[in-house]
Amino acid sequence: MIKRFLILIMFVAATFLASGQQNTTVKIALLKYSGGGDWYANPTSLPNLIEFCNNTLNTNIYPEPATVEVGSPELFNYPLAHMTGHGNVVFSNRDVEMLRAYLMAGGFLHIDDNYGLDPYIRREMNKIFPDQEFVELPVSHPIYHQAFDFDKGLPKIHEHDNKPAQGFGLFFEERLVVFYSYECDLGDGWESYPVHKDPEHIRLLALKMGANIISYVFDREDNIIP
C-alpha cells in the first residue's frame, strides 16, 4: 500500500507541476476521527480555501473535499488531509498504524485547533510519533514564504486565550509531515463571511496562509518524496 501511494503521489506532484498546475485535478481530504470532537466543524472552510487556491494559485483542486476516516485506506488517495475541531480526539490502534504509514509514505496532515483541541491532539499525535514532540517552526520556514510572505509567522485570525498564534510541526526523516496551527483558527477565517463576519482583510490573511500550506505540499518535491 505504501509503495502504491508513493508512486501515486510522485505522479500527481510531477504532473501537477509540469502542467503548470492546470490540467491535473487532485482532491484533498477532511479527516474524520473518533472521540466525540466535532471533526465536521467549519463546513464552508475547505471549499472556500480550494476556490481561493484555484483562483489565485491557478491550481485545479476538486471543489469539494473528501471526508475520510483516519483508519481508512482511502486516506492514501489524498496527498493532503485537514483536521479540525474543538474537543476530544481518540485514535484507535488501526488509526495510529494507518496515519503513521500515510505520513511516512508522503502524505501531509494539517491540524487546525478550532479551540479546545490542543490537549487531545498532542496526546494522540504522540501515539503516531512517540519519539517526538511538536516543535515550533521558525518564521523563516518555507511554509510561511510560498505564494505569500508571512514574515512574522502564523497570522492571528481569532482571539481565544490572549495567546500568540503558533505553528508547530512534526517531522519524518527531516521532512515536515504535520503542520499544526494553534491559537490561530485558520479554518474560521476560511469560512464564508456570514458565519463569523470577520473583516475581509482578516479572511484574506487566513486564506493566504491556507494557500501557502497547499502550495508547500504540492510545490516542494522534498516535502512529497521522503
Q: What is the pLDDT of residues 165-207, one digit of tens each?
A: 999 999 999 999 999 999 999 999 999 999 989 999 999 999 9
pLDDT at position 24 is: 60
- Element holding 112 (H helix, E strand): strand 108-113
Amino acid at site 222: D
The pLDDT score that the predictor gives to residue 215 is: 96
Biggest distance spanned by C-alpha atoms of the chain: 45
Is residue 146 within 8 A of residue 179, CB to CB? The reply is no
The reported pTM is 0.88
Query: How far is residue 65's CA from residue 47's CA, in Å, rounded to a whole number?
Result: 7
pLDDT digits (tens, 9 = 90+) for 11-44: 344 334 333 444 568 999 999 999 999 999 999 9
Domain coordinates in residue numbering, the chain: 2-224
User: Which residue's C-alpha cell is 507541476?
Assistant: 17
The mean predicted confidence, pLDDT, of the chain is 89
Q: What are phi and psi of 84, to 5 degrees?
A: -150, 180
d(CA 133, CA 32): 23
Architecture of domain 2-224: 3-Layer(aba) Sandwich (3.40)
Length in residues, the chain = 226
